[in-house]
Amino acid sequence: MLSATTPGCVLAFDDEREMADALARTLDVPLALIERHRFPDGELKLRLPATLPPCVVLLRSLHQPNEKLVELLITAPAARELGAQRLLLACPYLAYMRQDIAFLPGEAVSQRHIGSLLASRFDVVVTVDPHLHRISALSDVMPGCRAVSRSAAALIGAWVARHVSQPLLLGPDEESAQWVSEAARACSPSADHGWCVKQRHGDRDVVVTLPPALNCRDRAVVLIDDMASTGRTLMAAAKLALAAGALSVDVAVTHALFVGDALDELKATGVRHVWSTDCVPHASNAISVVPLLADALRAG
């Protein structure tokens, strides 16, 4: 008999089938897909399996999040009606984590509100490298559920070690320090690393300066970050590294959002390779986070 604490299946949507297949194989459980129908007015009709095991893993990454959040709001209670007693959300990219305080009167603190919403629907939420600034733990914004954050930095560092000889790991801003440091430890015990200083004046207006103690000349520089959205900070750092004499500049990130033509513009600065994890489906995907998710879910 299936336990209410051991995953009995992976439930997923068809647009994430590749990762769902890999996760189900790793967990050694069946995969079940949710059927979607869109009505002319835009509403969604979802169809789940007629019966579900006591413990269900639901895979949904929340890039382009607004419609996907509605899907979760419908799927979670439906899954419980169909037999799921325990719901584990595997959410490789967790959206709405940027806004963690109200900068102006009346601003909604979306991190807290979306976190509370998901915590009220799921028993466990597992994610990778959430974009937290002033919050030390994911559990602080997800009361009432087990919130698990895993980092892909070590996977990225190991990937870089296999593909770049004697790299210099560089973060594009101070916020990237935690990922750069962890990636450097996985890359090599003596890997050179550091991070730039950034001033942001708008979504697409940033000023970046290299750390004065770091010498990029004749080095293979790899820019490391958790997220690439507009890519402006990475572009600025790449230009600086090349102007400082870097032999090459590559980029490795956890979440490859790359809105609009951001990837083309980044490569136009002289970046050689762009690598990302599969948290967000993208042409640059090279590193799988399925092992991270599976380990966290087994402990769920």
CATH at 74: 3.40.50.2020
Per-residue pLDDT tens for 115-156? 999 999 999 999 999 988 777 788 889 989 999 999 999 999
- What are the residue ranges in the chain where pLDDT is below 50? 1
**Is residue 285 packed enough to be buried (19+ CB in 10 Å), middle (13-18) or exposed (0-12)?**
middle
Looking at the structure, tell me whether residues 141 and 219 fall in a common domain.
no
**Are 124 and 148 in contact, with CB atoms under 8 Å apart?**
yes
Looking at the structure, tell me whether residues 115 and 194 fall in a common domain.
no
- Classify residue 2: in a domain, yes or no: no
pLDDT of residue 26: 98
Looking at the structure, tell me whether residues 157 and 202 fall in a common domain.
yes
What are the E-state strand segments in the chain?
9-13, 31-38, 44-47, 55-59, 86-91, 124-128, 146-150, 167-171, 192-195, 197-202, 205-209, 220-228, 248-256, 274-277, 285-287
Structural domain containing residue 267: 153-278
pLDDT of residue 4: 72
Looking at the structure, tell me whether residues 205 and 269 fall in a common domain.
yes
- Classify residue 62: in a domain, yes or no: yes
Per-residue pLDDT tens for 9-24? 999 999 999 999 999 9
How many C-alpha atoms does 232 have within 13 Å on its Cβ side? 12
pLDDT of residue 200: 66
Query: What is the number of domains present in the chain?
Result: 2
Looking at the structure, tell me whether residues 120 and 208 fall in a common domain.
no
Looking at the structure, tell me whether residues 131 and 159 fall in a common domain.
no
What CA–CA distances, in Å, run from 213 to 169, 174, 187, 188, 195?
A: 14, 15, 21, 20, 10
